[in-house]
Amino acid sequence: MSDTYDVIVIGAGPVGENVADRTRAAGLSTAVVESELVGGECSYWACIPSKALLRPPAALAAARAVAGAREAAGGRLDAAAVLARRDSFVSNWEDDGQVSWVESTGADLFRGHGRLDGPRTVTVEAPDGGVRRLTARHAVAVCTGSAAVVPDLPGVADARPWTSREATSAKEVPGRLAVVGGGVVGVEMAAAWAALGSRVTLLMRGDRALPRMEPFAGELVAEGLAAAGVDIRAGVSVTRVDRAGSSGPVTVSLDNGERLDADEILFATGRAPRTTDLGLETVGLEPGSWLETDDALRVQGVEGDWLYAVGDANHRSLLTHQGKYQARVVGSVIAARAAGAPVDGTPWGPHAATADNMAVPQVVFTEPEAASVGLTAREAERAGRRTRVVDYELGDVSGAALYADDYKGRARMIVDLDRNTVVGATFVGPHAGELLHAATVAVTGEVPIDRLWHAVPSFPTMSEIWLRLLETYRG
Ligand SMILES: Cc1cc2nc3c(=O)[nH]c(=O)nc-3n(C[C@H](O)[C@H](O)[C@H](O)COP(=O)(O)OP(=O)(O)OC[C@H]3O[C@@H](n4cnc5c(N)ncnc54)[C@H](O)[C@@H]3O)c2cc1C
């Protein structure tokens, strides 16, 4: 293997894999450096195992919501079978399949820890201690992702808390689980382990779950968790954690003076960039910082347009689909620059990740699901937009009523009155995540409301919510 490549990609999570795929497709020689499993956090300890854990309870809930099917779905989830299915989705934490895929693109894979060592240079420290020095002709793409943050509280280190890694890979169901954090990871993992049989307590600092979404999303998701048996305590902070002995239960102390006992405690309290030991200081950047980029994913503060940060590492949007979108953009940017072409930064050009700024879709896979794209009402107000908020009960749509008896859910559409377009939408309800992409197309495409009126949803599907929202808007 040559030690000089057109492009060096550090980190082979979903984002790094896609950057390499795009640069190889453009005919650029590409090295990929990975210190753990090819496929990254998403494949083994995040998106895939969490959704594999959440799908069986969702399937059971869907059957139980329909008279006639309900009578046949009276049993309990088979936790061992759910965990085994999860294990198969993560290929038992072996990455042979993804290694083959990377190799099939023609990229060279280097196993080891990558570090920048000055401009366009990356050293790779292999597991056996050997060090290889790689040079990039055109670009280095940092795709090192993020890691869970555990707050530095008294007793925490000795309590061996779960992070998202343990919460998605545990082999046994804890009898009692305390979950700290009411964001997406907290509510999803509370839902999953409660469904598998844990007595779950969800501890949230704020007054509601999912604080970044419309308030009704957090309220309906919390109602669903409570109905599933989760004990929700809002407005509390953990002050210390004590584990009895090496394998005894943990006692969690709260700032309101209460204590609770659990067999495991999960901290779902945020993410930090994996840039601490990356040699950032050799190119004038701060180790441990998120890498700020422009819309072409070029790292700011570095001369020469050779360093890119893509995916979680740049903190634009901590979601796999947005990171893979950025990977497609950066692939075009690097290929264009390598060919000497100018990088065109128009909003709809292939060289600018503009969707990160206006139309980021996200689905929370709880029961009910919560799905949103674009601005919330509050964000639109803060941005000084002149908007109208249109709400509709999803259960009043015939497709939803057919989907589940007593369907409960809500939809919200935010219309920008000056542009006459949809700038945000939220759907909460069973299976509501599938409604989201139409909203993403409407927001991204800036489809005028008068034109959207002609996009006729099929009867009787849940997508008829679009018709109801538009009718309500028009009055
Ligand atoms: C519990 C949980 C559930 C989630 N569910 C979803 C979901 O349903 N949908 C969704 O869109 N997003 C979800 N996310 C977010 C998603 O996991 C991340 O946005 C995604 O993994 C980011 O991809 P990435 O390639 O940037 O980073 P990662 O997936 O973190 O991959 C980074 C890779 O870089 C490697 N690496 C790091 N440093 C070095 C180094 N110095 N040298 C060599 N290699 C290095 C790592 O080993 C890793 O393989 C979830 C996150 C969590 C925690």
For residue 343 and ligand 1, the question of a CB distance below 6 A is answered with: no
Q: How far is CA 111 from the centre of its chain?
A: 25
Please state the atom number of ligand 1 nearest to the C-alpha of residue 38.
49
The protein residue with its alpha carbon nearest to ligand 1, atom 24, reads: 145
Quick one: which of 304, 266, 272 has its CA closest to 291? 272
Q: What are the tokens at 335? A: 């290929």
Q: Which residues of 294-327 are buried (b: 16+ CB within 10 A; e: fewer)?
A: ebbbbbeebeeebbbbbbbbbbbbbbbbbbbbbb
Residues 364-409 have pLDDT tens digits of 999 999 999 999 999 999 999 999 999 999 999 999 999 999 999 9
CATH architecture assignment, domain 368-474: 2-Layer Sandwich (3.30)
Q: Which two tokens stand for residue 42?
A: 């998403």
Res. 7: pLDDT tops 90: yes
Checking DSSP bridges between strand 410-416 and strand 421-429, what pairing results, if any?
A: antiparallel
Is the per-residue pLDDT at 1 higher than 60? no
In which element (H, E) is residue 331 found? Answer: helix 320-338
**Tens-place pLDDT, residues 138-196:** 999 999 999 999 999 999 999 999 999 999 999 999 999 999 999 999 999 999 999 99
Q: How many residues does the chain have?
A: 475
What is the C-alpha to C-alpha distance for residues 413 and 376, in angstroms, rounded to an integer? Answer: 9
- pLDDT value of position 341: 85
Q: How far apart are CA 378 and CA 398, in angstroms?
A: 30
**DSSP for 56-111, written as a single string:** HHHHHHHHHTSTTTGGG--S---HHHHHHHHHHHTGGG--HHHHHHHHHTTPEEEE
Pocket of ligand 1 contains residue 58 by CB under 6 Å: no
Distance 147 CA to ligand 1 centre (A): 8
Q: 3-class DSSP state for residue 287?
A: coil
**Sheet with 176-180, edge to edge strand ranges:** 231-234, 199-204, 176-180, 264-267
How many whole angstroms separate alpha carbon 214 and alpha carbon 217? 6
Per CATH, 4-39+95-147+272-355 and 156-269 having the same topology is answered: yes
Closest CA to 188 of 49, 431, 365: 365
Give yes or no for residue 347 having a pLDDT over 70.
Answer: no
358 CA to centre of ligand 1 in angstroms: 22
Contact 189, 221 (CB under 8 A): no
Question: Residue type at 195?
Answer: A
Over the stretch 237-290, which tens digit does the pLDDT of each residue have? 999 999 999 889 999 999 999 999 999 999 999 999 999 999 999 999 999 999
- Ligand 1 near 318 CB (within 6 A): yes
CATH homologous superfamily of 4-39+95-147+272-355 equals: FAD/NAD(P)-binding domain (3.50.50.60)
What's residue 424's pLDDT?
98
Angle at 314 between CA 308 and CA 316, to 5 degrees: 125
Confidence of residue 2 (pLDDT cuts 50, 70, 90): low
pLDDT tens digits, 74-107: 999 999 999 999 999 999 999 999 999 999 999 9
CA of 234 to the centre of ligand 1 (A): 29
User: Ligand 1 in contact with 41 (CB < 6 A)?
Assistant: yes
Question: 299 alpha carbon to ligand 1 midpoint, in Å?
Answer: 19
| Distance, C-alpha 320 to centroid of its chain | 6
> What does the pLDDT look like over 410-450, one tens digit per residue?
999 999 999 999 999 999 999 999 999 999 999 999 999 99
Atom nearest to 33 CA in ligand 1: 43
Ligand 1 contact, 52 CB (< 6 A)? no
Ligand 1 atom nearest to 39, measured from its CA: 49
CATH numeric code, 156-269: 3.50.50.60
Look over the chain and give the mean of its residue pLDDT values, rounded to a whole number: 97
Q: Under a CB-based contact definition with an 8 Å cutoff, are residues 3 and 313 in contact?
A: no
Is residue 266 lining ligand 1, measured as CB closer than 6 Å?
no
User: Which pLDDT value is given to residue 423?
Assistant: 98
Q: Is there an atom of ligand 1 within 6 Å of 113 CB? A: yes
- Is 474 in a helix, a strand, or coil? helix
Q: 10 Å Cβ neighbour count for 463?
A: 17
Query: What single string gives the DSSP state of each residue in 105-171?
Result: TTPEEEESEEEE-STTEEEEE-TTS-EEEEEEEEEEEE---EEE-----TTHHHH--B-HHHHHH-S
The CA-based dihedral angle spanning residues 154, 160, 165, 171, taken in that order and rounded to the nearest 10 degrees: -150
- Report pLDDT digits (tens) over 307-339: 999 999 999 999 999 999 999 999 999 999 999
- Domain ranges across the chain: 4-39+95-147+272-355, 156-269, 368-474
* Residue 249 beta carbon below 6 angstroms from any ligand 1 atom: no
Element (H, E) at 240: strand 238-243
pTM, rounded to two decimals: 0.97
- 315 C-beta closer than 6 A to ligand 1: no
What whole-number distance in Å separates Cα of residue 468 and Cα of residue 390? 10
- Give the strands of the sheet with 362-364, arranged side by side: 362-364, 369-374, 421-429, 410-416, 387-393
Q: What pLDDT shows up at residue 412?
A: 98
Closest CA to 222 of 263, 191, 258: 191
Contact 33, 112 (CB under 8 A): yes
The 10s digit of each residue's pLDDT in 100-137 is 999 999 999 999 999 999 999 999 999 999 999 999 99
Looking at residue 457, the DSSP 8-state letter turns out to be P
User: How far is ligand 1, taken at its centre, from the CA of residue 13, in Å?
Assistant: 6
